[in-house]
Amino acid sequence: MLLNMGPHHPATHGVLNFVVETDGEVLSRAVPEVGYLHRGIEKIAEKVGYTGFMPYTDRIDYCAAMFPNQGWAMAVERLLGLQVPRRAEYLRVIATELCRIASHFIAVGSMAMDIGAYTPFLFLIRERETFNDLMEYLCGARLTFNYVWIGGVSRDFHPGLDKKICAWLDKLEPIIDEFDRLISFNPIYIDRLVNVAVLSRQDVIGHGLVGPNLRASGVDFDLRRDVPYSVYPELKFKVPVGRGPFGVEGDCYARYYARIEEMRESIQLLRQAIAGLPEGEHRARVPRKIKPPPGECYARIESARGEMSYYLISDGTELPYRVHVRTGSFSAMSIIEHASPGLMIADLVALIASLDVVAPEVDR
């Protein structure tokens, strides 16, 4: 049979469609069809200017909007040769690592819901509401933040916000342990994910996968450590690589549990960044009309879904000549057709969820 899965199927994580060839419940092929959410956002960047594009970057990944903010800011700052104040860099680390945790809440919670367990999703959505409150206190927004600006951040820490974040982190660590007992170590959940859709090191490298999807297959690479940016070289953290407590390297469970472990590392990064937050300005002096000299640059950031890159060309005017964004979700979609033959339809749902695909990153 030739079936359409999506674009409104709840397991497709957005407006995506998969053309599925099946023999009963067994797949012979699953081909992603993208483009339903295409907004021409890169062409918009070439029309609204460097500062005007910043609010649009939030829409590239609404689940973790701080990362596209910072990636765009880093690209423009490189063209300008602009030095960002150290306090602003620390504030960026705090904002993005908070966002990484909140994004992984959605990833692992919705994955459990796709498999058939509804309670874990609500369990993490409750904690994500606390994160939203912290973000609202930090920058006035709860989803699309527009907090990271060219040259720094839009506003400084409010008094007492550091204590609020630390109190939430103290509460969060045992909650992650409880989440493990609730679903990660659940025998039914383990059976559904272990040894399913195994992706080898050669597979993930060949298809350009990034982030937790790359590291779950045993490739030890993280931009924060290996191509360092911001103040990450001053902070200590581990990079979770390889299999989880069950299963094999590169299976659905390994990709799922990589995100659980990353949340724990983000908590340690946040504690270090808050403790080491220096005094100073939260934003460098930036001209009202930004006109970088002619040239090109490539800026990379380790987003919640892996490497997010901006390729930017300036022709010396107030408008960018060309803009291109590379995202983790788009590269993750490329491996689904390769991994799908022989899977059950229910396993395809687990594969899509384990890759943590969000539609705006795919289409832009």
For residue 138, the domain's CATH number is: 1.10.645.10
Number of domains in the chain: 1
Q: What is the mean pLDDT of residues 315-340?
A: 90
Q: In this structure, are residues 42 and 254 in contact, taking their beta carbons and an 8 Å threshold?
A: no
- The torsion of the CA quartet 304, 60, 50, 294, rounded to 10 degrees, works out to 80
pLDDT score for 11: 67
Whether 350 is in a domain gets the answer no
Q: Where does the pLDDT of residue 309 fall: very low under 50, low under 70, confident under 90, or very high at 90 and above?
A: very high
pLDDT score for 223: 93
pLDDT score for 83: 92
Q: What is the mean pLDDT of residues 350-357?
A: 89
Give residue-wise pLDDT tens across range 191-201.
999 998 889 99
Whether 29 is in a domain gets the answer no
Q: Where does the pLDDT of residue 296 fall: very low under 50, low under 70, confident under 90, or very high at 90 and above?
A: very high
For 263, the domain range is 39-190+213-294
Report the C-alpha gap between 103 and 109 in whole angstroms.
Answer: 10
pLDDT score for 359: 81
pLDDT score for 62: 84
Can you give the three-state secondary structure of 93-150, one letter per residue? HHHHHHHHHHHHHHHHHHHHHHHCCCHHHHHHHHHHHHHHHHHHHHHCCCCCCCCEEC
Report the C-alpha gap between 161 and 135 in whole angstroms.
Answer: 10
Whether 249 is in a domain gets the answer yes
Report the C-alpha gap between 110 and 104 in whole angstroms.
Answer: 10
Q: What is the mean pLDDT of residues 60-67?
A: 88
Whether 121 is in a domain gets the answer yes
* Res. 157: pLDDT tops 70: yes
* Res. 274: pLDDT tops 80: yes
Report the C-alpha gap between 121 and 117 in whole angstroms.
Answer: 8
Residue 78, helix vs strand vs coil:
helix
Whether 208 is in a domain gets the answer no
Whether 11 is in a domain gets the answer no
Give me the residue label for tokens 């699953």: 30
Q: In this structure, are residues 239 and 56 in contact, taking their beta carbons and an 8 Å threshold?
A: no
Whether 336 is in a domain gets the answer no
Give residue-wise pLDDT tens across range 87-141.
999 999 999 999 999 999 999 998 988 888 888 888 888 888 998 899 988 888 8
Residue 319, helix vs strand vs coil:
coil
Q: What percent of the chain has pLDDT over 90?
A: 51
Q: What is the largest CA-CA distance in the chain?
A: 64
* Averaged confidence pLDDT in the chain: 90
Whether 240 is in a domain gets the answer yes
Q: What is the mean pLDDT of residues 6-28?
A: 81
Instruction: Tell me how crowded residue 14 is: count the other CB atoms within 10 A of its CB.
Output: 18
Q: Where does the pLDDT of residue 346 fall: very low under 50, low under 70, confident under 90, or very high at 90 and above?
A: confident
pLDDT score for 150: 92
Burial of 211 (0-12, 13-18, 19+ CB in 10 A): buried
Report the C-alpha gap between 258 and 240 in whole angstroms.
Answer: 6
pLDDT score for 362: 85
Report the C-alpha gap between 106 and 352 in whole angstroms.
Answer: 14
* Res. 329: pLDDT tops 90: no
